[in-house]
């Protein structure tokens, strides 16, 4: 297993729609293991493959009950409303209150090709929605209000310039 550097905004891989994966194989198993290790090292509660530069439809998460993975996850149901201080390893050290549905259900397959379904509210619901967003090239910045997004992008640009100058 290996810990990978996490790609951060504005890395273009984070804006791509990721490609579906086929049946589980050794390479895919290694990807899932590496993603779980990278998630825990960060530390984070979820990670999508594009965040380590692999544009494939694979997510991992641990919303408090151990590590899980889903291949080709589809967000098939949401309901309710929940305001949560949301962050993303690809936009490090920043949190915004973002409203999304409270409940989410995701269906996909595991490495053995079995159908898996994960569902939950609050943190679980949030992680599922957030990670599936990554597979569509959507970052939490796109879930902010217009005004918040403008401000966030301005700050991120300034930071990038300072890094470049430093
Ligand atoms: Ni994220």
- Alpha-carbon gap, residue 111 to 53, rounded angstroms: 20
**Is there a contact between 60 and 46 (Cβ–Cβ < 8 Å)?**
yes
119 is catalytic: no
Separation of CA 164 and ligand 1 centre (Å): 24
Helix (H, G, I), strand (E, B) or coil at 15: helix
Q: Average pLDDT, stretch 124-133?
A: 98
Separation of CA 166 and ligand 1 centre (Å): 26
Q: Domain total for the chain?
A: 1
Q: Residue 55 falls within a domain, yes or no? A: yes
Q: Would you place residue 1 in the very low, low, confident or very high pLDDT band (cuts 50, 70, 90)?
A: confident
Q: Which domain holds residue 60?
A: 12-165
Separation of CA 43 and ligand 1 centre (Å): 12
Q: Would you place residue 166 in the very low, low, confident or very high pLDDT band (cuts 50, 70, 90)?
A: low
Q: What's the CATH number where 28 sits?
A: 3.90.45.10
Task: Report pLDDT digits (tens) over 56-92.
Answer: 999 999 999 999 999 999 999 999 999 999 999 999 9
> Which of 81, 131, 151, 159 is flagged as catalytic?
131
Q: Residue 51 falls within a domain, yes or no? A: yes
pLDDT greater than 70 at residue 128: yes
Q: Average pLDDT, stretch 39-59?
A: 98
């Amino acid at each position: 297993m290996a810990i990978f550097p996490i790609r951060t905004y504005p890395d273009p891989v984070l804006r791509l729609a990721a490609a579906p994966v086929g049946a589980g194989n050794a390479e895919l198993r290694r990807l899932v293991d590496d993603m779980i290790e990278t998630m825990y090292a960060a530390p984070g509660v979820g990670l999508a493959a594009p965040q380590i530069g692999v544009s494939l439809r694979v997510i991992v998460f641990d919303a408090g009950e151990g590590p899980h993975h889903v291949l080709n996850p589809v967000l098939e149901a949401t309901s309710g409303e929940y305001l949560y201080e949301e962050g993303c390893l690809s936009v490090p050290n920043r949190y915004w209150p973002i409203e999304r549905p409270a409940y989410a259900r995701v269906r996909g397959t595991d490495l053995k090709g079995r159908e898996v379904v994960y569902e939950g509210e609050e943190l679980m619901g949030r992680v599922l929605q957030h990670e599936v967003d990554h597979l569509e090239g959507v970052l939490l910045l796109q879930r902010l209000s217009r005004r918040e997004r403008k401000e966030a992008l301005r700050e991120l640009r300034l930071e990038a310039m300072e890094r470049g100058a430093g």
